[in-house]
Amino acid sequence: MAKLLLKLQRYFRRKPVRFFTLLALYLAAGSLVFLHSGFSGEPRVPGSPRSPAAAEGPGLPYLGVMQLSRGVKAAATMPAGGRRHGPWFKSTSKEPSDRGKSRDNGGPRSRALRSRSGREKEEDRARYIGCYEDNTRQRTLRGMSFFDYKKMTVFRCQDNCAERGYLYAGLEFGAECYCGHKIQASNASESECNMECKGERSNICGGINRLSIYRLELAQESARRYGSAIFRGCFRRPENVSIALPASQLMLNMSVDKCVDFCTEKEFPLAALAGTTCRCGFPSTLFPLHEREDEQLCAHKCAAEEFESCGSADFLLVYQTQVQDNRCMDRRFLPSRAKQLVALASFPGAGNTWARHLIELATGFYTGSYYFDGSLYNKGFKGERDHWRSGRTICIKTHESGQKEIESFDSAILLIRNPYKALMAEFNRKYGGHIGFAAHAHWKGKEWPEFVANYAPWWATHTLDWLRYGKKVLVVHFEDLKRDLFVQLQRMVALLGVTACEDRLLCVEGQKDGNFKRSGLRKLEYDPYTPEMRKTIGGYIRTVDAALKLRNLSGVPEDYYPR
């Protein structure tokens, strides 16, 4: 061995270039091995230090949690760069826990029927209607589509189609999801839908050029789309229909597309189908769109489309076109300096930016901010650049919760949101931006548990501090604002001391989404909260609920409590 090493030494002394070449190759190979080992695990993002308050128990009495607020004051008074807000992500599905167990090996038809009956029991939001033919050149369902060749599930497809407002969800080839409003193909034999879903072996997801189609019974009707139009619902014909809906045209071959196109051309935001008559207009006091009727009253088939409803002379099927209702789009700074500073206060992720959008449309005045966010300024929030004490804006966005900061304001609108939703929204904003999403590695890594430990106590102390130190505080629950926007917005505008006409508020309802709304395509399919997290957050919810009731307020909505 020694002689061999001596020969190699003499050889490389005579030819040093070869020595250095071999050395470089050795170092390069080592570097590649090192890099491979570094990337084989999930990427990590350094988390924030654990809040001292996180160790406190949630089941404290009201005054105990008020003391807790001093423990998290450092987190609550974080500089503006550390602020957050935002909603959520949907990606993976659970693998069945009993994959290795024996399975009934009946024929494709028996398995399809068994799978169908199981789904009908479990999924009361959707009804399986059958196996249908499909064609790659002319799709049966012609709306949105997406594929996942590893984790597709029936629930995921249904949920994504329902959130986009489609009537039907179809699964094909075990991994493809198609959405649509019309089924434009013939039935196929149930035995031809014989491919298991990639993400759940117990269910069938179509076949080769075959769709397993579901009717989405509980689709989000307010977001149901026909092309570019949004479904608003079935409504009784207004008394002065020619005044409420001034433009009309007889259409013997009526369809949703024809009526929507007609009203879009006439530049009206509403298209109302009344049998063979298409009517157009604006939401108004004569036709406010607040009292929806049962859709079965409008379920009269269109003459030109077998799978569409066109309403009747007495019950109108209403869609919102892409025409912008400009009655509430004008905004400006206050003509004179405001005498009072009004806070729009919320925990991060509670919908503050959305509330600002609604207030600006309802009042016609810009809102300001305790911070500065360039992305919000670029999206049209022109009050973002003003100093928060300038007096030129109708109210001031803030996430602050310290006594000194709260007492700087003369009154406040306190926006409260379900902590489970608010925490996820803020986590998405922190790692994905205003309308982005946190990566899967962030949810599964150390970042999410640390975030919950730091932020969950702050959700409670933020509300408690504003109730304790705030002057003239109006509490608005985010969920109530979504459910009954017109009434809650009236309350908010009244506190701001502005008179907003009813037609302007009706206009706001039609423009309510704004530019900061996440797509529903990436919601988490699993629950990120552990039992320990739920126990802790449940304690904070009970504390806030008690504090609200102590001030003769209604308390938190029932859905705040753990499911």
Of 340, 273, 330, residue with least CA distance to 302: 273
- In terms of residues, how long is the chain? 563
Specify the pLDDT at position 225: 55
In single-letter form, the type of residue at position 186 comes to S
Specify the pLDDT at position 204: 94
Spell out the per-residue pLDDT of the chain, length 563, in tens: 666 666 666 666 666 766 677 777 777 766 655 444 443 333 333 333 333 333 333 333 333 333 343 333 333 333 333 332 222 223 333 333 333 333 344 444 444 444 444 444 444 568 899 999 998 888 888 777 888 888 899 988 988 888 766 778 999 999 999 987 778 889 999 999 999 999 888 899 999 999 999 998 654 444 455 666 888 889 999 999 999 999 999 999 999 989 999 998 898 999 999 999 999 999 999 999 988 898 889 988 888 887 788 999 999 999 998 887 888 888 899 999 999 999 999 999 999 999 999 999 999 999 999 998 888 887 789 999 999 999 999 999 999 998 999 999 999 999 999 999 999 999 988 888 766 788 888 898 999 999 999 999 999 999 999 999 999 999 999 999 998 899 999 999 999 998 888 888 988 988 787 655 555 545 667 789 999 999 999 999 999 999 999 999 988 988 887 54
**Using alpha carbons only, what angle is made at residue 522 by residues 516 and 527, rounded to the nearest 5 degrees?**
110
Of 419, 449, 278, residue with least CA distance to 351: 419
String of DSSP letters for 65-91: HHHHHHHTHHHHT--GGG-------B-
Specify the pLDDT at position 391: 94
Token pair in block for residue 298: 């409008």
Dihedrals phi, psi of 461, to nearest 5 degrees: -70, -30
Task: State the Cα–Cα distance between residues 14 and 18, nearest whole angstrom.
Answer: 10
Specify the pLDDT at position 11: 67
* pTM exceeds 0.75: no
Please give the DSSP secondary-structure letter assigned to residue 208.
T
Token pair in block for residue 527: 């629950």
**Using alpha carbons only, what angle is made at residue 136 by residues 132 and 137, rounded to the nearest 5 degrees?**
115
**Alpha-carbon Rg for the chain in angstroms:** 29
Pairing of strands 411-416, 473-477: parallel
Token pair in block for residue 132: 């249908």
Please give the DSSP secondary-structure letter assigned to residue 336.
S
Specify the pLDDT at position 124: 55
Cβ(233)–Cβ(294) under 8 Å? no
Cβ(59)–Cβ(382) under 8 Å? no
Task: State the Cα–Cα distance between residues 491 and 293, nearest whole angstrom.
Answer: 26
Specify the pLDDT at position 249: 95
